[in-house]
Structure 1
Amino acid sequence: MDQWQPLLPLWGDDALDPVADLAPDRAETVGDGWEPREAPPSWADAVGVFDLETTGIDVLTDRIVTAHVGLLGPDGTVQRARSWIADPGVEIPEGATAVHGITTEHARAHGRPAADVVAEIVAELRDLFAGGVPVVAYNAPYDFSLLKYEALRHGISAIETPAPVIDPLVLDKAHDRYRRGKRTLEVVAAHYEVALVGAHDAAADAIAAGRVAQALARRFALTGPAWELHTQQVAWARAQAESLTEYFVRIGRIDAETPLDGRWPIR
């Protein structure tokens, strides 16, 4: 079953408590949709969030199991949220189940048809982009690429050029390049003092990634327009892939003829 929480005012005198009176079973659009009531002073004051949990890591062939699209207000509170569980139509490997906890049997019993889920995810993201709301996705090329190929698989018009997108993984690497340690969402969230409870749950990961993006905006004064930041990330992601390729070639992990793909936000 998909879960729904209504859009609440993000700012102004009539802003509401974002955790009060939530209606998780509602499926209709509330109010004016995703568009904020008035232009926010900073992109970080209203961010969409997006995350997928899947059957594997191949964006061309693997399938969506669970998903979340939401909207966060200026202080990271949830303004709107929708979650899905899909029947992917294929067996969910044990390795994937070990990560997100969803078995094939559970997905078949409780998941909705994959085509319906994919169409609804695409529609929600289109609404965010149409409203000028940047969408945060951690390691964005994975989620947006897999969604694209799922849409094509089911005959749904894919989001070919999602924008503006904010990718905390790219931003963190660009602004704190030499920090030691892993760059998983769990580790990066802890570094920026963002709580992540229930990692590898699509909703938990999406919301944490959004709050990390907002923390990065504060830490590094990323106050420019979201579209400008989107364009910068295209270049940063390419440079990061080139740098990592050089390192992997040096240690013998990959061949120089097979460089890492640095396209962003879709590969």
Structure 2
Amino acid sequence: MSWTISTAIQTLEQLPEQPLITTLANSALLGFDTETTGIDTDSDAICSATLVCKFPDTSWQDYGVLPWIINPHQPIDPRASAVNGFTDEYLQTHGREPEQALDEIATVITLAQRKHIPLLAYNAPFDVAMIEHNLERWGLPTIQQRLEQTSDMLLVVDPLVLDRAISHRSGKRTLSATTYYYGVVPHGDFHDATADTIAAVELIEPMARLFPQISNLTLEQLMTWQRNAHEQQQESYMQWAARNGKRAWRSNWL
């Protein structure tokens, strides 16, 4: 169901803090996805974003959904426009000013983090870097800076890292391919921030059902487990590239 920013803030403020021994299968989750003017996290801007709050044992109709359309104040790359459907004219006419919209997004994420509700994003480094750099661009405190006030660390779930670690399948690992593999039915079209966010959030249930290592993963183990999984994936990729004479570079997770 659609939330207003005041409903989201009030709901999160009233929630008890999730214990860090909570398993991923039983955790509340705050899904996040962005549509952007391009793929450069240093220079491109968010033009659409959605946060989706999922509480345990709720169906998608009961998720708290917060969407934003944002005027990026820069042209959208035609390749990005072809994917997400936004045009410069539409964003200039319908988009909100970035200072207020980005601050609202960061406020909700920070409140959830203080309750130990993980931020879930498919290929999380992209969306996290994008929101942090956009906040910096407009002179706003980053999420990490807001969390440092309470000594909290960013808690993130990345279904892409989880899937690569557990499924050992061949083929593409786009969000659409991964949801198809796990039998998740999308609610809307892919490359729409809201539809993508709901689909990514709904991946956790079948992953946890099929793989005990995901079901039993606790919030306090979450970041270390994913960092280790990503590092193993990178090592395997580098070895494959060396064997096949391919140029490769090592990427970082969070």
Bin the TM-score by the shorter chain.
0.7 to 0.9
- The equivalent of 2:94 in structure 1 is 110
Identity value in percent: 33
CA separation in 2, counterparts of 1:251 and 1:57? 28
- The equivalent of 2:150 in structure 1 is none
Q: Aligned-pair RMSD on alpha carbons?
A: 2.2
| 2:227 aligned counterpart, secondary structure | helix
- The equivalent of 1:19 in structure 2 is none
Shift of residue 112 of structure 1? 0.7
CA separation in 1, counterparts of 2:196 and 2:185? 10
| 1:67 aligned counterpart, secondary structure | strand
Shift of residue 38 of structure 1? 7.5
CA separation in 2, counterparts of 1:169 and 1:34? 30
Shift of residue 208 of structure 1? 0.5
Letter in 2 for 1:235: N
Aligned pair count reads: 238
The alpha-carbon distance between structure 1 residues 27 and 141, as it changes in their structure 2 partners (threshold 3 A), is closer
Q: Residue 12 of structure 2 is aligned with which of 33, 44, 52? A: 33
CA contact (8 A) 1:35 1:133 kept: no
Shift of residue 186 of structure 1? 0.2
- The equivalent of 1:247 in structure 2 is 240
CA separation in 1, counterparts of 2:241 and 2:37? 27
Q: Residue 235 of structure 1 is aligned with which of 202, 209, 228? A: 228
CA separation in 2, counterparts of 1:220 and 1:237? 17
Letter in 2 for 1:33: L
CA separation in 2, counterparts of 1:159 and 1:69? 15
**Are positions 1:70 and 2:49 aligned together?**
no
CA contact (8 A) 1:35 1:132 kept: no
- The equivalent of 1:201 in structure 2 is 192
CA separation in 1, counterparts of 2:244 and 2:209? 36
CA separation in 1, counterparts of 2:206 and 2:244? 34
Shift of residue 248 of structure 1? 3.7
- The equivalent of 1:15 in structure 2 is none
| 1:50 aligned counterpart, secondary structure | strand
**Are positions 1:167 and 2:158 aligned together?**
yes
Q: Which runs of 5+ in 1 are unaligned?
A: 7-25
CA contact (8 A) 2:18 2:115 kept: no
Cα deviation, 1:29-74, whole Å, max 9, x if unaligned, reads 3644266457586433321100011111111111101001111133
| 1:106 aligned counterpart, secondary structure | helix
CA separation in 2, counterparts of 1:47 and 1:215? 15
TM, length-normalised to structure 1: 0.81
The alpha-carbon distance between structure 1 residues 44 and 135, as it changes in their structure 2 partners (threshold 3 A), is farther
Letter in 2 for 1:163: L
Shift of residue 230 of structure 1? 2.0
Q: Which runs of 5+ in 2 are unaligned?
A: 148-152
- The equivalent of 1:9 in structure 2 is none
CA separation in 1, counterparts of 2:185 and 2:13? 25
**Are positions 1:82 and 2:66 aligned together?**
yes
CA contact (8 A) 2:34 2:127 kept: yes
| 1:5 aligned counterpart, secondary structure | coil
| 2:198 aligned counterpart, secondary structure | helix
CA contact (8 A) 1:68 1:83 kept: yes
CA contact (8 A) 1:48 1:136 kept: yes
The alpha-carbon distance between structure 1 residues 155 and 72, as it changes in their structure 2 partners (threshold 3 A), is same
CA separation in 2, counterparts of 1:51 and 1:62? 15
Q: Which has the higher helix share?
A: 2
CA separation in 2, counterparts of 1:152 and 1:32? 27
CA contact (8 A) 2:17 2:116 kept: no
TM, length-normalised to structure 2: 0.85
- The equivalent of 2:2 in structure 1 is 5
- The equivalent of 2:171 in structure 1 is 181
The alpha-carbon distance between structure 1 residues 176 and 43, as it changes in their structure 2 partners (threshold 3 A), is closer
